[in-house]
Structure 1
Amino acid sequence: MSVIPNCFGCKQQITDICLTAFGLQWHPYHLACNTCGKDFSDGSRCEEGPDGYAYCSKDFLDKFAPKCERCQQAILGQITNALGKSYHPEHFCCYTCKMQLSGNFHHTDDGVVYCEKHYYEAIGYLCGHCEKPIISGKCITMGNKRFHPEHFHCSFCTTSLSGVGYKRQNDKAFCVSCHLKLYG
C-alpha cells in the first residue's frame, strides 16, 4: 500500500502532481520562486538555491551563475577567470585583434587584456623595425618609436646606428654620412 504524501505548504494530501524540493513534497502551486513569485504548476523546473529558497531556472541563473564580464550573460559551461573577473572562454580575448586568449596573457593597469604583440604595442615596446616585442629592456628610442639595438640602422645604407651618432629626418634615422649626402 502506497502512502499519499502531504503538501508541506498546505498540509493536505497530494493526489495529483507532486513536486519534491528541499527533501519535502509540495503541490506545484504551493511553492513559488523567491524572486518573481511564479509557482511551478506549469511543470517548470524548481531550482534550490544555496540560500535555501526556491527559484525558477531563469532567476536561479540570474542570481547564482557567474556572469561573463564581456557579455553579462550567465556562464553555464567552461569558465575563464582572470583579473578577478569571469568570462566565457571565447569572450576572453585580445582587445586589439580579438584572438581568444588561453594560458598566458598580458594586461595594462586598467585591466585591458592583450596578446603579447598587442600588449607591447599598447605600451610602446614593439620594435619599429621587426614589430616584435622588446622584452630584454634594452632598446633605442627615436621620437615615439623604439628599436631593438640590432635593428636600429641607417634608413639608406643600413649601417648599424647602435651606439653611434645619427641624424633624424622625416621620422627616419640616417648615419651622418648618408644624411649629409641626401639632405646636405
Structure 2
Amino acid sequence: MSSKDEPAVCSSCNAVINGRIVTALNKKWHPEHFQCHTCRKPIDGAKFHQHDGAVHCVPCFTEHHSPRCHGCGDPITDRVIQALGVSWHAKHFVCGGCKKELGGGGFMEQVC
C-alpha cells in the first residue's frame, strides 16, 4: 500500500479523517481540530499566523502578537516603521514641527 492509499490521520487526535481535510504546516487535520492556540476556535479559510510554534487566527495574532504603534497604541498590521527604539504606523511617525510623515527617511532627533 503506498502512502497515497493510506488514510489521512489528524495531527491533533490521531484519528482517521473521513470527509473534509485541512492541510497546513505539512500536516492533516479534522477541520474542527485545526484551531487557534489563543481563542481555541477552528481556523476557517487559508489565513493564519504562527508564533512561538503555535497557530493563531488573524484576529488573535493581531491583538496579542502584532507590534503596537508608539503613536496610537493600536496593533500594526501593515508596514512597520522601527525608529527611536519603538514601532510606528507610517502615518504616526511624523515630524514634530510640521507633522509631515517621515516615512522611514532621514530624520534628526532633537532633545530640548
| Structure 1 length-normalised TM | 0.50
Cα contact 1:44–1:56 (8 A) shared by 2: no
**Corresponding position of 1:28:** 31
SS in 1 for 2:28: strand
| Structure 2 residue 38 is matched with structure 1 residue 12 | no
- Cα-to-partner distance string for 1:28-77 (whole Å, 9 max, x where unaligned): 1013211111123xx23452423111111111222332221112233233
- Cα-to-partner distance string for 1:5-39 (whole Å, 9 max, x where unaligned): 11122222223221123321101101321111112
Specify which structure has the bigger relative contact order, considering alpha-carbon pairs within 8 angstroms and separated by 6 or more residues: 2
**Corresponding position of 1:175:** none
CA distance in 2, matches of 1:46, 1:97: 39
Cα contact 2:9–2:17 (8 A) shared by 1: yes
Instruction: Give the drift of 1:91.
Output: 1.1
Q: Which runs of 5+ in 1 are unaligned?
A: 109-122, 124-184
| Structure 2 residue 77 is matched with structure 1 residue 76 | yes
| Structure 2 residue 78 is matched with structure 1 residue 98 | no
| Farther off after superposition, 25-34 or 76-85 | 76-85
CA distance in 1, matches of 2:32, 2:79: 35
The residue identity in structure 1 corresponding to 2:34 is L
Any runs of at least 4 consecutive aligned residues in structure 1 with deviations exceeding 6 A, and if so which? Answer: none
Instruction: Give the drift of 1:79.
Output: 2.2
The residue identity in structure 2 corresponding to 1:69 is H
CA distance in 1, matches of 2:8, 2:49: 20
What CA RMSD, in Å, does the superposition of the two structures yield over aligned residues? 2.3
Aligned residues: 107
Name whichever structure is richer in helix by fraction.
Answer: 1
| Structure 2 length-normalised TM | 0.76
CA distance in 1, matches of 2:8, 2:71: 47
The residue identity in structure 2 corresponding to 1:64 is H
CA distance in 2, matches of 1:56, 1:26: 16
**Corresponding position of 2:54:** 53
Please tell me whether Structure 1 or Structure 2 has the larger radius of gyration of its CA atoms. Answer: 1
CA distance in 1, matches of 2:49, 2:57: 9
